[in-house]
Amino acid sequence: MKNPSRLPLLAALLAAACSVRAENLAVTGDTVYTMAGAPLKNGVVLIHDGKIEAAGSAAAVKIPAGYRVLHAAVVTPGLIDAHATVGLSGLLNQPQDQDMLEKSSPMQPDLRAIDAYNAKDELVTWVRSFGVTTVNTGHAPAALISGQTMIAKTFGRTADEDVINPAAMTSVTLGRNGLANDGSPGSAAKSPGTRSKAVAMLREELIKAQEYAKKREGKDEAKRPGRDLRYETLLRALDGTQPLLVTVNRQQDIISALRLAREFRLKIVLDGCADAQLVLAEIKASGFPVIIHPTMQRSYEDMENLSVETAGKLHAAGIPIALQSSYEGYVPKTRVVLLEAAVAAANGLGFEPALASITIDAAQMLGIAGRVGSLEKGKDADLALYDGDPFEYTSHCVGTLIEGQVFADGPR
Amino acid sequence: MRPRPLRQLALFTGLAVLVCAQEKPLAITGAQIIPIAGDPIAHGVLLVQHGRILAVGSADTVKIPAGADVLDATGRVLMPGLIDSHSHIGSGSGGDGSNPIQPDARVLDSLDVRDASIQKARAGGITAVNVMPGSGHLISGQTLYLKLREARTIDDLLIKLPDGSNAGGLKMANGTNSIKAAPFPGTRAKSAALVREEYIKAQEYRDKIRRANGDPEKMPPRDLALEELVEVLDGKRIVQNHTHRHDDILTVLRLSKEFGFKVVLHHVSEGWKVADEIAAAHVACSVIIIDSPGGKLETRDADWRTPAILEKAGVLVGFHTDDPICDSRRFLRTPALAVRAGMTRKGALEGVTIANAKIIGLENRIGSLEPGKDADFILLSGDPLSVYTHVEQTWVEGRKVFDLSRPQDHLYAAGGVGAGDSRRAQLCCFTSAWDLIAAANGASQ
């Protein structure tokens, strides 16, 4: 510190920054969707120390003196994007900001999202400006095992400060996007080149992980194998603590995923599922939740049969769903889960189930419903404020709150 | 055997005339009509016959002729068919990898009219479209302005101009898409130099033709590429120019001024930085709105406010899907997002109708509901700019080409098994949008 006279200023700034976090706030909305009970007309959410102190109707919840009041037409919980690549798949789409896919090997479960997540990428700010406060983000669904995902708040500070689960899921992709080449005999240098080969490789790897676990517990300490980060990750998939996020779109790939889950008694999360309508009964019977493909995903190759109505049909069948922004290699570099949910809402899913799929239902699927996903006492003060129906094309997000900190990114 | 097909043709033509002659007028009643030319009409009547609009107005001003068919559209919104000024439906192609300048390549010779993307465009309410070759060349070929009539062959979709030629433009591009290994340019300056050289050749070619003054002995040998550029120089063909960065936009304006060709700027991601310059040049823009900025360096500063800023500067603003970049079925989302970012509702609705008609030079035939214009219109379930609104029917020249209540049409509108494009090659064309998407998404790494 060259100039000591700056110290008091710095201290004051720090205090101000802290006070932003600790500020007592009352957010009032003409309609407040708490996602825990019926929507509130003239609702109030009280925020103290970054947490929700109370949420209820204006008649039931009095605003204490000294609370700063923010008002919006519609208030919802901060949105949750159940499967994203923001922070790894950067805005520029240049080699220096693309960390979502390592191509040196088809199976790399040891790759952690937290070692790549750029909390300050502009796309993180971009999705936050639409009300997204939590993302399950990480390695792209574009390799057999591309790596892990993490759950982070969209503060935009650092990965370590913003993370709420550093090892949420491990990304597995079956079908075309999980292949390393086009499968033609001449291109056999890189595997997997076919669907059969992909599943065979995955099974072999899971069996090796099981054998590794046995050897690690062997009586003779000298004969125990050294630590293997890849197998350690797969073992967390096998014991259910870090599920596999299995991206599958063709119906035969969905069925392969279910077969694999049965064989290894895996708890998995199905992802994509463009063909879900063809195997609805099988998905339902499995009990696994589905993070459905972005509603406006392009229909080509494995996603050829996707439909804007699939989310609604899965919901109607009683299958737990969440929506996602997924991964785009070109434009838009990220989708916005609010806009994807909007189109689902208008095409059979309906307003409240669509909102649930990007708030409380997504939170439950990600195992973070104790902290986020609804406006209830004791939960993080993550809120999204809109000047109208959040799903309408012409509405705006007019404010996003994360743990009581107000971000005025918009109006967007 | 020769006379027989001719006789059949004559018979067919006769029948067609007969069918047309017998066609009764059709009145669409009860809808809120947004004619674009003029204010919305609460309970309007649109009267059409022989593929043209006879009348449009309020129920008390439009007399429905006795014997007319009546379609009750109460509760619906009726507006002109949407015009998409930049699309790649039909899996077409243009030039190949041999040369950066290929004005002789025609998208006409490549389109698959049975491609599902065309029916999906009808499901989005699109009735006319500028189908372009890709942006991987400085000049990638001739575009086609099409009507999305029911089609068995490409001929069924063509728009014939008074001189018998097919309506269409010329696709050009600058910036990074057309910069690549030789023989393509390696820099922006080289890109402009190559284009200038080609237009100078075209000017000289035109001069030779003029000097020949109809004497076949003095005519230069035919050159398909230069012939097209002469059409551009003569104002018969509009240049539809892909361009993102503000300096690339200014380069297009500079070349357009030097050679006097009519140009429309497409995408214009950084158009907001040079809105006044675009306005001063009296050049129109066809804008795309992407769900997030970036995806490539040239679009890092793309801004949803671009249409609003251009509108305010006095620029004619149209919209496009660049399908498959944006889905034709959700074309109305683009003007809606432009309104979200500050554009006027009037300007946004014009951007998918009359502004785009002007952008492809067909404003006398399409783009608004006025007597004498083509009977291209859509019926919507509600406000055109609402996410909850569905396109219920699409009509081209008085014929229904999409009806959401028909199961097959619903399939195309929503998607599902059978709505895909299984015939599309995995990597079909030279720098088509599909190639960029497929390659970038890591398939067949």
Which tens digit of pLDDT belongs to each residue from B56-75?
Answer: 999 999 999 999 999 999 99
Non-local (6+) Cβ contacts of A397 within 8 A are: A129, A130, A131, A338, A384, A385, A386, A390, A409, A410, A411, A412
Phi, psi of B192 (to 5 degrees): -65, -40
- Token digits of residue B159: 């728009």
Task: List the one residue out of A80, A164, A89, A91 whose CA is nearest residue A130.
Answer: A80
Task: List the one residue out of B191, B253, B196, B192 whose CA is nearest residue B229.
Answer: B196
Which residue from A minimizes the CA distance to B339? A394
Give me the residue from B290, B389, B414 closest to A308, CB to CB. Answer: B414
Give me the residue from A103, A298, A334 closest to B445, CB to CB. Answer: A103
Tell me if B296 and A331 make a contact (CB, 8 A cut-off).
yes
Q: Looking at residue B432, what is its pLDDT? A: 61
Domain B3-75 CATH superfamily: Urease, subunit C, domain 1 (2.30.40.10)
| Paired sense of beta strands B399-403 and A163-173, if any | unpaired
List the CATH code of the domain at B82-366.
3.20.20.140
Residues of chain A in contact with residue B293, where contact means CB-CB under 8 angstroms, are 91, 122, 126, 333
Give me the residue from B294, B325, B414 closest to A92, CB to CB. Answer: B294
Residue A153 is given by DSSP the state E
Q: Does A384 touch chain B (CB under 8 A)?
A: no
Tell me if B340 and A394 make a contact (CB, 8 A cut-off).
yes
Cα–Cα dist B435/B226, whole Å: 29
ipTM: 0.93
Cα–Cα dist A283/B211, whole Å: 75
Side-chain half-sphere CA neighbours of B182 within 13 A: 0
Phi, psi of A244 (to 5 degrees): -80, 130
CA distance B341 to chain A (A): 7
Percent helix, percent strand, percent coil in chain A, to nearest 5: 35, 25, 40
Using alpha carbons only, what angle is made at residue B368 by residues B366 and B370, rounded to the nearest 5 degrees? Answer: 95
- Per-block average pLDDT, block size 10, for chain B (445 residues)? 45 46 88 98 98 97 97 98 98 94 98 94 98 96 98 97 97 97 97 98 98 96 98 97 98 98 98 98 98 96 98 98 97 98 98 99 98 98 98 98 97 92 47 66 48
Q: Residue B125 carries which side chain, given as an amino acid letter? A: G
Cα–Cα dist A195/A197, whole Å: 5
Which residue from A minimizes the CA distance to B323? A298
Torsion sign over Cα A357, A361, A365, A371: positive
Q: For chain A, how far is it from start to end, CA to CA, in angstroms?
A: 40
CA distance B417 to chain A (A): 5
Q: Does A96 touch chain B (CB under 8 A)?
A: no
What is the location of CATH 3.20.20.140 in chain A?
79-372
Number of A:B CB contacts under 8 A? 151
Mean pLDDT score of chain B, rounded to an integer? Answer: 92
- Token digits of residue A63: 């605003």
What is the location of CATH 2.30.40.10 in chain A?
19-76+374-412
Question: What are the residue ranges spanned by the domains of chain B?
Answer: 3-75, 82-366
Give me the residue from A190, A331, A392 closest to B386, CB to CB. Answer: A392
Residue B110 is given by DSSP the state T
Tell me if A343 and B290 make a contact (CB, 8 A cut-off).
no
SS3 B242: strand
Q: Looking at residue A404, what is its pLDDT? A: 98
Tell me if B419 and A298 make a contact (CB, 8 A cut-off).
no
How crowded is residue A179: how many other Cβ atoms within 10 Å of its Cβ? 26
Residues of chain A in contact with residue B444, where contact means CB-CB under 8 angstroms, are 179, 181-182
- Domain A19-76+374-412, CATH among 1.10.3190.10, 2.30.40.10, 3.40.50.300, 3.40.630.30: 2.30.40.10
Task: List the one residue out of B400, B394, B389 whose CA is nearest residue B377.
Answer: B394
Cα–Cα dist A111/A102, whole Å: 9
- If you search the block for the tokens 């998995």, which residue do you land on? A268
Side-chain half-sphere CA neighbours of A244 within 13 A: 28
DSSP string, B7-33: HHHHHHHHHHHHHHHHPPPEEEESSEE
Cα–Cα dist B102/A329, whole Å: 29
Max intra-chain CA distance, chain A:
75
Q: Looking at residue B430, what is its pLDDT? A: 43
Give me the residue from B387, B417, B440 closest to A330, CB to CB. Answer: B440
Exposed, middle or buried: residue B312 (CB in 10 Å: 0-12, 13-18, 19+)? middle
**Cβ atoms of A290 and A326 closer than 8 Å:** no
- If you search the block for the tokens 């003054």, which residue do you land on? B213
Which residue from A minimizes the CA distance to B345? A394
CA distance A346 to chain B (A): 5
Residue B236 is given by DSSP the state S
CA distance B155 to chain A (A): 27
Cα–Cα dist A250/A252, whole Å: 5
- Per-block average pLDDT, block size 10, for chain A (412 residues)? 45 46 90 98 98 98 98 98 98 96 94 98 98 98 97 98 98 95 61 95 98 96 96 98 98 98 98 98 98 96 95 98 96 98 98 98 98 98 98 98 90 86
Cα–Cα dist B337/B288, whole Å: 10
Instruction: Say what angle helices B246-259 and B188-212 make with each other, to 10 degrees.
Output: 20
The answer as to CATH 3.20.20.140 being correct for domain A79-372 is yes
Q: Which helix (H) or strand (E) holds A41?
A: strand A40-48
Q: Looking at residue A409, what is its pLDDT? A: 72
Q: Looking at residue A411, what is its pLDDT? A: 82
Which residue from B minimizes the CA distance to A398? B340
CA distance A261 to chain B (A): 25
CB within 8 Å of chain B, chain A residues 22-81: none
CA distance B340 to chain A (A): 4
Q: Does A391 touch chain B (CB under 8 A)?
A: yes
Residues of chain A in contact with residue B389, where contact means CB-CB under 8 angstroms, are 346
CA distance B351 to chain A (A): 16
Give me the residue from B294, B324, B415 closest to A307, CB to CB. Answer: B415
Q: Does A401 touch chain B (CB under 8 A)?
A: no
Sheet holding B52-58, edge to edge: B52-58, B44-49, B26-29, B69-72
Tell me if A179 and B420 make a contact (CB, 8 A cut-off).
no
Side-chain half-sphere CA neighbours of B215 within 13 A: 7
